[in-house]
Amino acid sequence: MKKEAILVAGGAGYIGSHAVKALRQSSFLPVIFDNFSTGHREFITGFDYVEGDLGDPKKLNATFESYRFSAVMHFASHCYVGESWENPYKYYHDNVVNALNLLKTMLDHDVACLVFSSTCAIYGNPVTLPMAEDHPQVPVNPYGESKLFIEKILRDFSQVYDLRYVALRYFNAAGADPDLQFGEYHDPETHLIPRAFDAVTGRLPELEVYGEDYPTPDGTCLRDYIHVTDLADAHILALEHLLQGRPSAAYNLGTGTGISVRQIIETIESVTHRKVRTAIAPRRAGDPAELVADPSKVMRELGWQPNHSSVEEIIRTAWSWHKLKFKH
C-alpha cells in the first residue's frame, strides 16, 4: 500500500525532527521542507527533504506538485521571545506571512489538514492555574502575538475554506530522542536545560538563575516541561484525528506539573554527577512565577499521555544527547 505523504515544514529542527521520526514509525512518508536557518542537516539523513523557504511560494508550489500530500505539519517559525522584542518586524512578518503562504499553497492543492505548532505564549500571564485552553489569550511578547494571529487565521479559514487544523500549544519542550538521533541544539541557546549542561561542561562560565524571590516553594520559577517524544506522539494523534475527518481543535501539551529551576538544576547534578555553576540574576521582565498546563482536554479527546516526561527521563535523555553532540 502506498504511504500517505505528510509535509513537515521545519522538520530539520528540534521538535520537527522527532515528529518526522514518529511519522515514519507510524508508516507515513514524511517530507521535510526546511531552509536550515536553525535546523540541522544531520537530522535529515535518510528522509525525503526539500531545501526551501516558506517565504518562497514558487518553491512551495513545486513541492506540492511533486508529492500528493495528505496533510501538513507546520513547525517552521522564529521562536525566541527575547529576539521578538529586538526585531518584532521579523516575527510579525515572517511567522504570519510564511504561514499564509503555506495555507494558500495547501488550499490551491486541496490539502485540507494541518497540525500547527502553537505555544503557551499565546496565553500571556496566567490568570488561572493550571491553564486550560479557554484561558484568556493576552500574549505579552511579539512571538506569542504572532502565534495567536496564526491561530486566528486558522480559525477563520476553517470556517470558510476546506481546511481543518489542530493547534498544539506546547509548554516547555525538553529532552532528546532515546536513540540519540536528535536533540536540542539552538544557536544561541536560550533554553534552561541545554544552558545548564553548558555550565556543567564549561561551555558557559555559569548558569544565570533569573530570580529566586518568586512566591514558589523554592523561590525560583515553575515551568511545565514536556518530553519531545511525547510532543511527537501528540502530533501523530492529532494527524490521525484530522485524517479521520474529525473537527478542528486546539490542545495544550504539558504534564500539569510545575518544575522549578532549582529542581532542574538538582536533577542535572544528580544525573551528571557534576556541579552546575550558577549565578543569581534579577528577575526577567515578563517572566511569570508559574506556567503550568491543564492537559486534560488532549488526554480526553485524543487519548494522549505524557509517558516520557518525568524530570529524570527528560534530563537523562537530554544529557546523553548533549554528551554525544559535544563529545565530553
Q: Supply the residues annotated as catalytic.
A: 143
Nearer to ligand NAD, 222 or 244 (CB): 222
Binding pattern to ligand NAD, positions 216-255, x when CB under 6 A? ----------------------------------------
Beta strands 222-223 and 259-260, pairing class? antiparallel
- Matching residue, cell 538563575: 209
Report the nearest approach of ligand NAD to the CB of residue 276 (Å).
Answer: 20
Q: Burial-class residue 187 by CB neighbours within 10 Å (0-12, 13-18, 19+).
A: exposed
- What's the 3-state SS for 192-257? HHHHHHHHHHCCCCCEEEECCCCCCCCCCCEECEEEHHHHHHHHHHHHHHHHCCCCCEEEEECCCC
Q: Rounded to the nearest 5°, which phi and psi values hold at 158?
A: -70, -20
Of 186 and 323, the one with the shorter C-beta distance to ligand NAD is 186
* Per-residue contact string for residues 132-171; x = within reach of ligand NAD by CB under 6 A: --------------------------------------x-
Residue ranges of E strands in the chain: 5-9, 29-34, 48-51, 69-74, 113-119, 164-170, 172-174, 207-210, 222-223, 225-227, 249-253, 259-260, 278-281, 290-291
Query: Is 39 a residue that touches ligand NAD (CB under 6 A)?
Result: yes
Shortest gap between Cβ of 174 and ligand NAD (angstroms)?
7
CB of 10 to ligand NAD, least distance (A): 3
Among 48, 53, 189, 290, binds ligand NAD (CB under 6 A): 53
Q: Is 172 in the site for ligand NAD (CB under 6 A)?
A: yes
Q: H or E segment at 105?
A: helix 96-108
Please tell me whether residue 55 binds ligand NAD under the rule CB under 6 A.
yes
Q: Which is nearer to ligand NAD, 87 or 274 (CB)?
A: 87
**Chain centroid to CA 158: how far?**
23
Contact 102, 72 (CB under 8 A): yes
Closest among 10, 121, 17, 12 to 72, alpha carbons compared: 10
Proportion of the chain in helix, strand, coil states, percent, rounded to 5: 40, 20, 40
Residue 14 binds ligand NAD (CB under 6 A): yes
Within residues 173-212, the interface with ligand NAD by CB under 6 A covers 173, 186
Which window, 36-44, 83-91, 237-245, 257-265, contacts ligand NAD (CB under 6 A)?
Answer: 36-44
Cell numbers given for 257: 506539573
Residue of the chain from 22, 54, 167, 311 that contacts ligand NAD (CB under 6 A) = 54
Binding mask 65-104 for ligand NAD (x = CB under 6 A): ----------xxx-x------------------x------
Residues numbered 100 to 129 that lie near ligand NAD (CB under 6 A) are: 117, 119
Q: Given the rule CB under 6 A, which residues bind ligand NAD? A: 9-10, 12-16, 34-39, 53-55, 75-77, 79, 98, 117, 119, 170, 172-173, 186
